Structure 1
Amino acid sequence: MLSIIISLSSEVSAGKSTQERDTDNDGQTDQIAYLDETGRIERLEIDSNADGVMDRFQYFEDQQIVRIEADTDHDRKIDCREYLKAGKRIRQELLSNDSGRVVQVSEFDSVGRIVEIRKNTTEDDLFDSIYSYKDGKLFLFAQDTDGDGKPNISQTYNDDKPVLKSIDDNGDGQMDVFCIYRDGVLFERKTDMDHDGVFEITIRFKDGQPVEEEKDTNRDGKTDLFTRFDSYGNAEKIEEDTRHTGRIDRIRTYYMGRPVNVVSDIDGDGFKETVALFKNGKIRRQTEDRNQDGKPDITTWFDEKGKKERIESDTNLNGKIDTWQYYEDDRLTRVEKDEKGNGSINLKVFYSKGKKCRVIMDRDNDGLFEITQRFDKAPWSMVMELDADGDKHPEARYCYEKGVLRLKEIDKDRDGNPDLMHHYNAEGKLTKTRETHEGVDGPSIIWFYDDQEEAIRAEHDRTGDGHADIWYHYRKGKLTGLDEDTNADGKPDIWEIYDESQTLLKISFDLDFDGKPDSEENGRGKK
């Protein structure tokens, strides 16, 4: 804007002079004109906001303004320079308040129309944004966002409306993104994700909002993801070919940006057997139709936080639920099964911290769970108990280590104490058997076995004092000898020897209990 001074308050005198003026009659000078020796103006200083500080400076040559410098934000720093020719602005420079560097240059044609704008947005002395105009209208915009001196964004215009925008997002000189406009509104955007010259993503727009998207996620040249958007730009429906077979195997639908349901072909056989239903953006139920009969065979229920609560399954696909799984805090806590399909649960599995700890089974479907398996009884990996009458006293107990039976206990009289105990080695072979009578502290007999599980020795505690008083010796399953302690001193004092037919051959006696035989008898009498 040009300023013209008329009716200055002082007359021109010999030599350079100044003239002051109070244009708003507030008692303060707001214009000062500097005149040369002939009285022609050289410079005009203006206080445009009446703060007492000159903020606009106009320079003249031959009575014509040739340059204007201004402090547009009134911080006492020049931030704008304009150059004029024949009264027309031909160039404008905007300066940074911080560095004083030129951050924008605008060029104008002979009639004052904008021709070009160059911007230095990073104040690094490089103009990184250039706007080009024709007949006063923008027709090209170029920008260098990575500071390499080459534009990586280019946008063309027609009648001030955008037509095409291209972006080189990796600085290789090849444009990777193209935005196409119709009537100045974005219509389509294509993106080359891996910079190979092929566009993997295409998004189409309507009224500036995305309408649909097509994407080639695995870069094989085939579109495998299709997205439809609602009027707010939120995904409304997504169809995916997750296996890249050319067939849609997952369909997701949304409402106002929140998922409503997901239909999937999990096993890739072409049938979408899995349906997930959502509420308030969280999954609440999922069904699976494994035999493709239109009826769910597995239903999973979720809580309000999207964590599993239970799963109901028809494992034999006969249309009846036979397995129930229960969860707490997304961890499995219990499984119940109707293995015979008669409507009665005959198997329950319990879990602690996600690990199986107990199993109970009702094998005869009488409502009594007579078999219990425990997995938290160290040192055993599993302990199985049989309580056929449900009196809480198992008749049999089987202890396993790493899947191998190591101990079997039988309680014949059901008094809560084992009457028969079988011990096994790491290979599962019988090594020892202990048989008790009249309770734990009653008489007992212990059998020892070889690698072929044949008895080789037995120790009999007839009094229940914890000390054997008869020792049996076997070979190939046949009795070969018997030792007896008759005075409970822990040492045998009678020895019997048998032949291969288990016929008694000889008996020896230690009459004075000194550990040495004193007399002998054969099977037919005393020698």
Structure 2
Amino acid sequence: METFRHYKNGELCRQECVDNGRTKPDIVTEFVEGQAVLEQRDTNGDGAFDLQVRMSKGKPISKEEDSNHDGRMDRFTAYDDRGRPLCVREFAANPNEPVKTTRFKEGELCSVEQTDNGRMVFTRFQNGKPVKQTIDENRDGRPEQTITYNQQGTVDSALSDTNRDGRIDSWQYYRRGALSRTQQDRNHDGKVDAKSEYDGGRQIRLIMDNDGDGHFETLTAFDTAEWTKVTDLVDTAGRRGQRLSYSGEVLRKKEVFDTATGRLVTFEKFDQAGKIVMSREAEDGTGALLTWRYDAEENAVAAEKDSDGDGLTDIWYHYENGRVKKVEEDRNKDGKPDLWETYDAAQVVVCQSEDLDFDGTADIERRY
């Protein structure tokens, strides 16, 4: 690179630096009383100056840049009296409104105000790290989101106004940069009605107040070994009434409990398509258990009953086209049926047989 210096009255007034083989200078510096006051640079070699720095007493006062080399200056920097940046303004299509304004205090980053897709994002910094950020989606002066940061500069909390009514309705809290817990006001009545907990950024629990009465009646766990999620429905006293177990989004098991005693009342099992394959019901106060089994069309095909709650089946129901076709009963508790009944399509008994001596063979048969 060649350097050409121009003098006036014996003092340096202009200096030009030209890259070998080029006709236009790449750097031009103007001097007053021997001190540089203006420097212009052509940083990409297209023949046009895209950087201009004004100086006083050897320190920069301002800087203008054409960052995208379209012939228009779009980044302007102002400096304090010690040559440290005070403010950087960046422009896009509108030359009267900056898309980004960066401010400094004593040379340290203080704040950044940026327009992004029509929204205003303002970030405040301390010791070079963000401490608070607000996002005003519609630029009405009321931010829809406020983000706070910890001393390490990672997100500590994020508060949002999701429906833009001027009230916060979503709260997110972080631990070591990962989401830890959230709260939501989903119906925007001013009360929290959903709370979530996270482990390593993965949701593990969710409790919800679905009817807005202030009582969280739906408790869902996402960290069980067997199921994708397990949801408990509880009453105002916290007593469980139902438990729903899911694989993916498909209900695979449903349990209904007596809230007064905690005793299991009804149990239903579903296949991968969500169709019922088995159900079991306990009769109130008797200890009896009745179990149904279903086909692929969810029609009952068989049922078993433990009528005294001793853990042994003593009544068997056989179905055809969803109706009881045959019933077998073990009346002496030896594990073998000794009473048989056959039903017609109207569910009326048409034949009854009994094994009176319990040898496994019917001794009496009645037809109706």
**Cα separation, 2, equivalents of 1:518 and 1:211:** 116
Query: Structure 2: any 5+ residue segments left out of the alignment?
Result: none
SS in 2 for 1:341: coil
CA distance in 1, matches of 2:322, 2:94: 68
Does residue 252 in structure 1 map to residue 102 in structure 2? yes
Give the corresponding residue for 1:181: 30
Distance 1:337 1:486 in 2: 58
Distance verdict in 2 for CA 1:413–1:390, change over 3 Å: closer
Which letter maps to 1:354?
G
Q: CA deviation at 1:394?
A: 0.8
Equivalent of 1:397 in 236, 240, 243: 243
Structure-2 change in CA distance of 1:461 and 1:239 (3 Å): same
Return the match for 2:275 from 424, 429, 441. Answer: 429
1:348 deviates by 1.3
Bigger-Rg structure (1/2): 1
Code of the aligned partner of 2:297: Q
Q: How does 1:101-120 map to 2 (within 5 A)?
A: none
Deviations 1:319-371 (A, max 9, x none): 22222222222322221223343432222111222111111122344433221
Q: Which of 166, 177, 181 is equivalent to 1:330? A: 177
- Counterpart check, 1:234 vs 2:78: no
Report Cα offsets for 1:142-184 as digits up to 9, x if no partner.
Answer: xxxxxxxxxx35353535747324264xx98788841423234
Hey, what does 2:57 align to over in structure 1? 207
Q: Which residue of 2 aligns with 1:156?
A: 5
- Greater shift, 512-521 or 469-478, is seen at 512-521
Q: Cα gap change, 1:430/1:219 in structure 2, threshold over 3 Å: closer, same or farther?
A: farther
Shift in Å at residue 395 of structure 1? 0.6
TM-score, normalising length from structure 1? 0.62
What is residue 307 of structure 1 aligned with on the other side? 154
Q: Counterpart of 1:352?
A: 199
Check if 1:262 corresponds to 2:112: yes
- In the alignment, which of 341, 344, 348 is matched to residue 496 of structure 1? 341
TM norm structure 2 = 0.86
What CA deviation, in whole Å up to 9, does each residue of 1:445-477 have, x standing for no partner? Answer: 111122222222211122323332212122332
Partner Cα distance (2:51, 2:124) in 1: 29
Aligned partner letter, 2:3: S
Change (3 A) 1:203 1:493: farther
> Which secondary structure does the structure 1 equivalent of 2:232 belong to?
strand
Letter of the structure 2 residue corresponding to residue 352 of structure 1: D
Give the aligned residue type for 1:290: E
Deviation readout 1:244-285 (Å, 9 max, x if unpaired): 67663221111122222221222x22xx52222233433222
Counterparts of 1:411 and 1:327 in 2: how far apart (Å)?
A: 36
Q: Distance in 2 between matches of 1:174 and 1:434?
A: 94
Work out whether residues 16 and 25 of structure 2, in 8 Å CA contact, stay in contact via their aligned partners in 1: no
Greater relative contact order: 1 or 2 (C-alpha under 8 angstroms, separation 6 or more)?
2
For the 8 Å contact 1:155–1:162, the answer to whether it is kept is no
Query: Cα RMSD (Å) of the superposition?
Result: 3.0
1:377 is aligned to 224
Tell me the equivalent position of 1:480. Answer: 325
1:420 corresponds to 2:269:
no
**Shift in alpha-carbon separation, 1:488–1:413, aligned structure 2, 3 A:** farther
User: How many Å apart are 1:411 and its aligned residue?
Assistant: 0.5
CA deviation after TM superposition for structure 1 residue 515, in Å: 4.6
Partner of 2:255: 409
> Could you tell me how far 1:433 is from its partner in structure 2?
1.0
Q: Match for residue 123 of structure 2? A: 276
Q: Indicate whether 1:506 and 2:351 are aligned.
A: yes
**Residues of 2 paired with 1:518 and 1:471: CA distance?**
20
**Residues paired across the two proteins, number:** 363
What amino acid sits opposite 1:317 in the alignment? R
Flag the structure with higher strand content.
2
Point out the more displaced range, 221-230 or 325-334: 221-230
Aligned position for 1:452: 297
Which secondary structure state, in structure 2, belongs to the residue aligned with residue 502 of structure 1?
coil
Cross-structure match for 1:286: 133
> Which runs of 5 or more structure 1 residues have no equivalent in the other structure?
1-151
What CA distance in whole angstroms lies between the structure 2 residues aligned with 1:206 and 1:172?
33
* Cα offset, 1:196, TM superposition: 4.6
> Partner amino acid for 2:348?
T
- For residues 196 and 21 of structure 2, the distance between their equivalents in structure 1, rounded to whole angstroms, comes to 61
User: Matches of 1:516 and 1:218 in 2, distance apart?
Assistant: 99
Q: 2-side partners of 1:355 and 1:174: how far apart? A: 62
SS for the counterpart of 1:181 is: strand
Q: By how many angstroms is 1:209 displaced?
A: 2.3
In structure 2, how many angstroms separate the alpha carbons of the residues matched to 1:469 and 1:335?
52
Rounded Cα–Cα distance in structure 2 between residues aligned with 1:403 and 1:450: 22
The residue type paired with residue 468 of structure 1 is T
